[in-house]
Amino acid sequence: MTQETFTFQAEVGKLLNIVARSLYSHKEVFLRELISNGSDACDKLRYAALTDKKMAAIAGETYQIDLTIEKKKKTLTVSDNGIGMSRDDLNELLGTIAKSGTQAFAEQLSGDKDADMSLIGQFGVGFYSAFMVADKVEVRTRRAGEDKSWLWESDGKGTYTIEESDRATCGTDIIMHLSAKEKEFLEPERIRNVVKTYSDHVGVPVNMVNGDDIETLNSASALWVRDKKDITADQYKEFYHHVAHAFDEPWLTMHNSVEGVLSYKSLLFIPTMQPFDLFNPERKANIKLYVNRVFITDDCDELVPSYMRFLRGVIDSEDISLNISREMLQRDPMLAKIRKGVIKRVLGELKKKADKKPEEFATFWASFGPVIKEGLYEDFENRDKILEICRFRTTENDGLSTLADYAERMKDGQDSIYFITGENEESVARSPQLEGFRAKGIEVLLLTDPIDDFWMQSVTEFQEKSFKSVTRAGGDLDSMGKDAKEGGDGADKKDDTPGMDGLVALIKVALGDAVKDVRSSSRLTDSAVCLVADDGDMDMNLERILKQHKQAGFESATPRILELNPKHPLVSKLADAAAESTEANPVIDDAAHMLLDQARILEGESPLDPTAFARRVSQIMEKGLSL
């Protein structure tokens, strides 16, 4: 077969320059990445050999990774006898750089080397770090079970070639033609140091081949089966880098051994930074499952719940059968017990952190709080434990608060936990619906994660205090607290603005079906108007989310209640005009539509009729300029 030339599916020159620049001070990690890839390939073949007789006949008795130094050729070769790659694999895995999204990758780079290293690891471009030290990279590979082998070759400047090769056995050789500045990686001592530092935990032997000398450089023992006291913090960190393919520091390390009716060992990590796929719609977990140190799968949704998908690490059990299909694996009752134990362990560790080191926990919550809150909606059994670690922003507190903290600060006469949902904290905090609550010093939870609208539908109360949205019509502020601005005895007098009843009636007629009702408001102090949902209607922000996602039944918005602030100068003057005449008034008619559009804009929505809105604004400006 003739050689074929392909163009990388990304701006390869730019991307490889980014990789080289961001990783320059840590260029030795290229070797760690290639060894990790080789280890994964060996794990995959080991599992295939256990479940497929054809693969068992192909696989060797031992698995290993060889690092071959050839000083005369100026090459360093990383070889494994794992699963190997087909021609299509080469195109998909090596021909598409930053498959997770090249544009997103480039946009998120900050120029900070430490931060960018984390991003590089998250976007799966570790293989291309080889170009930091090599002018040319060759990949000679043969997939287990296939007759043909292939040679992939590139100088990293925009194209690569694929042609048939002559590798006799399955596995992969990555041959790096080192640049003149990188001769240090042809020195045995340098290679020995890098492997000991970064890859001592790899579960297959890593051998250095230098002429006739062959030396095993790593301990080749599974880190998770070793005693905690024998493992250093650096070893844990490097294992996290290996298993998570990440460059950041682990925020929390959980090494646990369970003995009894069910025995398993786990070594789990919580990252410091959000993994790039954290909000992927598939919400897949990223835990590697082993049985007696034999890799089984890293795609087992039954192992940990989706709201803990930020976890990285391994779980190894002696009590799960090896000769089972993945479908059977997902129904194995042992997995349900392991899952239950993992959830209990993780939530327990998070509770300790939250209680003892709240500042550190705040870092975790900023990255993973929205994901944890998914458990409030999905995991009824552990809902109370999840609520204990949830943290919230509020109108009366600068930091993060627990629900228990909020309950202790509730005002006399307050029997509900008030909340408001929206897209971001800044816009939600300015909502006119909050004005009356602020005036009386009543604390409101500011909920800005999309999941908040959903879990609030299933979690109805906390410590016998019901949750209530401030955007609903039934918020009775009269019996709670004292007005922070005007003082008072906790009970507002009924509004007696002349003409208010008449104004409400005229606005109802003018707006018709565009609103569900028009009412005088006790919640507004500064704004003229606001929209609220009726007590039996869906919360406005939840409906907005469903409408954006084109959910059936939410193509058009439900008419809302328009509330008027009788103390606002504009509303007061309109009430005076309404008091003079009970007949239709063009000024009040136009004002009614302007007030509704104003309220919609405050809610982040468009005017009902943008053309009519623009016309009315122009008329008002024209009259103002003519005075």
Convert the pLDDT of each residue in 351-381 to its tens digit: 999 999 999 999 999 999 999 999 999 999 9
- Beta strands 134-142 and 149-154 are antiparallel
Do 502 and 590 touch, CB atoms closer than 8 A? no
Q: Both tokens of residue 460?
A: 């109805």
pLDDT band at 107 (very low <50, low <70, confident <90, very high): low
Grouping H, G, I as helix, E, B as strand and the rest as coil, residue 159 is strand
Helix 586-602 and helix 500-511, axial crossing angle in degrees, nearest 10? 80
Q: Helices 333-356 and 358-372: crossing angle, nearest 10°? A: 140
422 vs 297, more confident: 422
pLDDT of residue 10 exceeding 70? no
> Angle at Cα 573 formed by Cα 572 and Cα 576, nearest 5°?
90
Strand-strand pairing, 4-7 and 65-70? unpaired
* pLDDT band at residue 117 under the 50/70/90 scheme: very low
For the residues 515-531, what does the mean pLDDT come to?
A: 91
CA dihedral 176, 177, 180, 183 (to 10 degrees): 50
Is the C-alpha dihedral spanning 80, 83, 84, 89 positive or negative?
A: negative
Using a pLDDT cut of 90, give the percent of the chain over it. Answer: 50
User: Strands 264-271 and 312-317: what pairing?
Assistant: antiparallel
Banded model confidence at residue 3, pLDDT cuts 50, 70, 90: confident
- Judged against a pLDDT cut of 50, whether residue 97 lies above it is answered with yes
The pTM of the full predicted model, rounded to 2 decimals, is 0.72
Q: What is the mean pLDDT of residues 459-481?
A: 79
For residues 617 and 439, give the distance between their C-alpha atoms in angstroms, rounded to a whole number: 31
State the chain's maximal CA–CA distance in angstroms: 107
**Pairing of β 287-291 and β 264-271:** unpaired
Instruction: Average the pLDDT over each of 96-100, 391-395, 605-609 and give the range with the smallest value.
Output: 96-100
The arithmetic mean of pLDDT across residues 429-455, rounded, is: 91
How many CB atoms are located within 10 Å of the residue 139 CB?
23
CA 35, chain centre distance (Å): 28
Q: pLDDT tens, 219-267?
A: 878 889 889 999 999 999 999 998 888 888 999 999 999 988 889 999 9
Check: CB of residue 507 under 8 Å from CB of residue 588.
yes
Residue 378: CA atoms inside 13 Å, Cβ hemisphere, count?
A: 11
Half-sphere exposure of 30 (CA within 13 A, CB side): 29
Q: Give how far Cα 560 sits from Cα of 511, 514, 522, 557, Å.
A: 11, 8, 17, 9
Distance (Å, whole) CA 21 – CA 6: 25
pLDDT tens digits, 564-587: 999 999 999 999 888 887 667 888
Sign (positive/negative) of CA torsion 510, 512, 515, 520?
positive
Four-CA torsion 614, 616, 617, 621, nearest 10 degrees: 140
Cα-trace Rg, the chain: 32
State pLDDT tens for residues 29-74.
889 889 988 998 998 898 888 878 888 888 877 899 999 999 999 9
Q: 349 is written with which tokens? A: 């560790």
Residue 491: pLDDT band (50, 70, 90) is very low
Write the pLDDT tens digit of every residue in 297-341: 787 888 899 999 999 999 998 887 654 444 445 566 888 899 999
**Helix (H) / strand (E) containing 623:** helix 610-626
Q: List strands edge to edge, sheet with 444-447.
A: 393-394, 444-447, 416-421, 465-469, 461-462
Of 20 and 471, which is predicted with more confidence? 471
pLDDT reading at 611 higher than 50:
yes
Q: Which tens digit of pLDDT belongs to each residue from 136-165?
A: 999 999 999 999 999 999 988 778 899 999
pLDDT for 559 beyond 80: yes
Pairing of strands 65-70, 206-210: parallel
With H, G, I as helix, E, B as strand and everything else as coil, classify residue 523: coil
Rounded to whole angstroms, the Cα distance separating 393 from 401 reads: 6
**What average pLDDT does the chain have?**
84
Three-state DSSP class for residue 402: coil
